[in-house]
Structure 1
Amino acid sequence: MIDYVSVYITDIEEAAGFYNAVLATLSYKQYAKYSDIIAYGKGNINFILTLSNTHYCPQNSNPIHIAFSAANMQQVDDFHNTALIHGGKTERKPAFREHPCGEVYTTGVQDIFGYKLEAVYKYPKG
């Protein structure tokens, strides 16, 4: 349904350092980097960071929550730990939680710009 999500950031190099490390834990790769855009995805570009002024960043508005799919629980743990190493803050430690699709293993962090990020592993039912 959604082709990609784009969020605004205030420092392209700071964003690259944080997101390159954190998204690598979920097997995302950087597809493009320009002076004002960084694009990530798995097979296709589906997450874009766009350089803008502080008017559009979450410090001056309501934070956005973006959930990324994880392939397993280890990726969720790595996502959380890597985010903290690169300046992120814990919103929710990795744990099993109830979710509309059933129980999931998930973590929540706040990135260096104030966005709320989540890694979610929907483990097979059985």
Structure 2
Amino acid sequence: MFDHVVFGVRDFAASKAFYLNALAPLGLKIVQENALGVEMSADGKSSLCLFQTAEKPAHLHLAFVAETRDQVNDFHRAALTAGGTDNGAPGLRPLYHAHYYAAFVLDPDGHNIEVVCHHPDA
């Protein structure tokens, strides 16, 4: 549970496009954009914020909740189309729990982006 996550990216335009397209299946949209960066949200309660930086960003693992396994599959396809690199195809990860269905993609800065559904297949 978080209110917002903020991190720097090397190529602001590429990263903004990546997140908007890769997380569109979860409903992510721009809330505001200004000289400081961009704030995006799917639910109006928590935000993902990006800003341009010249520093080499530390690697992150960000996991987003999906309500359905179809959203996980859609994320994976959208993220690859948006320029992400496959880091784990959609599928069950029983190591975590019996219904842990997730996909992993590396973003333009190499961050490990996950979308996970915790519900049994409908």
Q: Calculate the TM-score normalised by the size of structure 1.
A: 0.84
- What is the one-letter code of the residue matched to 1:73? R
| 1:26 paired residue number | 26
| 2:91 paired residue number | 95
Unpaired runs of 5+ in structure 1?
A: none
- What is the one-letter code of the residue matched to 2:17? G
2:109 to 110, 113, 121: 113
Q: Structure 1 CA distance, aligned partners of 2:74 and 2:50?
A: 21
| 1:78 paired residue number | 74
- What is the one-letter code of the residue matched to 1:77? N
Q: Structure 2 CA distance, aligned partners of 1:36 and 1:9?
A: 12
Equivalent pairs counted in the alignment come to 120
- Once the two structures are superposed, residues 11-54 of structure 1 have per-residue CA deviations (whole angstroms, 9 ceiling, x without a partner) of 22112211111121111221012233111111224211121113
User: Which has more strand, going by share of residues?
Assistant: 1
| 1:2 paired residue number | 2
Aligned-residue identity in percent: 28
Unpaired runs of 5+ in structure 2?
A: none
Q: Structure 2 CA distance, aligned partners of 1:108 and 1:65?
A: 10
Please give the root-mean-square deviation of Cα atoms over the aligned residues, in Å.
Answer: 1.8
Whether the 8 Å contact between 1:12 and 1:36 is mirrored in structure 2 is: no
For residue 75 of structure 2, give the secondary structure of its aligned residue in structure 1.
helix
The 5-angstrom pairing of residues 52-71 of structure 1 reads 52-55=53-56, 57-58=57-58, 63-71=59-67
Q: Calculate the TM-score normalised by the size of structure 2.
A: 0.87
